[in-house]
Amino acid sequence: MINNFKKPDLKGSRYREKRLSLLNQDIIKIFKDRKPHYSNIDNEKLKSIIKLYNKKLWEGVIDNRDGVELPDSLGYLFIGTCAPSKTVNTNYALSKEYGKVLQNKNWETDGNIGKIFYTNWSTKYRFKNREFWRFKACREFKRAVAKSYPENWNMYRVMKNKYKIAHLFNFNPKLSDLKGYNEFEI
């Protein structure tokens, strides 16, 4: 599908969603009131510790095929391989350069797309209103996944369309499948 490409108006008005940071002064003050032995730590140092922990967490998600379990049984994060989208995936930089609509075909990954998944389905301790929780990745995490996914795309779990993530955790092998299995044989 190659059509003429209409360049975006870079000086046009934009809608920007209002963002609230979780690391604001009020939250840090509440944290220091609840944990008085951390009250002598500088706020910037505390923020850098939290950001470093989060960075190590998403690096673990990228390095491990099955992802990581979040602390306090909040759920699991993992990267999944998905089939290509049926909508047009426009490459805006090339489209602007050539004046035609050009698409990203993801040739490096055989057309597959990497997505970040969050689930709290199989946590040990279920919590109230867990179905209303969601995960929104930070920009650094998304960019790190986009950079590393084409190199190791076949390492990650393959997710089917319209397949619930909960089914990944319902592994009940049939006894007939294990009939000839002997774990002590070499």
Going by pLDDT thresholds of 50, 70 and 90, the confidence category of residue 145 is very high
pLDDT score, position 151: 92
- CA gap 127, 144 in Å, rounded: 31
At residue 55 the predicted structure's pLDDT band, cuts being 50, 70 and 90, is: very high
Instruction: Please return the burial class of 179, using the count of CB atoms within 10 Å of its CB with bins 0-12, 13-18 and 19+.
Output: exposed
Predicted confidence (pLDDT) at residue 58 exceeds the cutoff of 80: yes
Exposed, middle or buried by CB within 10 Å (0-12, 13-18, 19+), for 149? buried
Please compute the mean of the pLDDT values over residues 64-71 and round it to a whole number: 88
Phi, psi of 118 (to 5 degrees): -125, 135
Among the ranges given (28-32, 36-40, 95-99), the one the predictor scored with the smallest mean pLDDT? 95-99
Residues 161-171: pLDDT tens digits? 777 776 666 55
pLDDT of residue 129: 77
Q: Is the pTM of this model over 0.85?
A: no
Structure confidence by residue, pLDDT tens digits, 90-109: 888 888 888 888 888 888 88
pLDDT at 130 over 80: no
Q: Work out the pLDDT band at 178, boundaries 50, 70, 90.
A: low
Distance of CA 46 to the CA centre of its chain: 24
Residue 84's pLDDT is 83
Residue 24: predicted pLDDT: 84
Average pLDDT over residues 118-143: 81
Residue 186 or residue 104, greater confidence: 104
111: which residues sit within 8 A by CB, 6+ positions away? 83, 84, 105
Asked whether residue 139 carries a pLDDT value surpassing 60, the answer given is yes
Mean pLDDT, the chain, integer:
83
Distance CA 87, CA 79 (A): 21
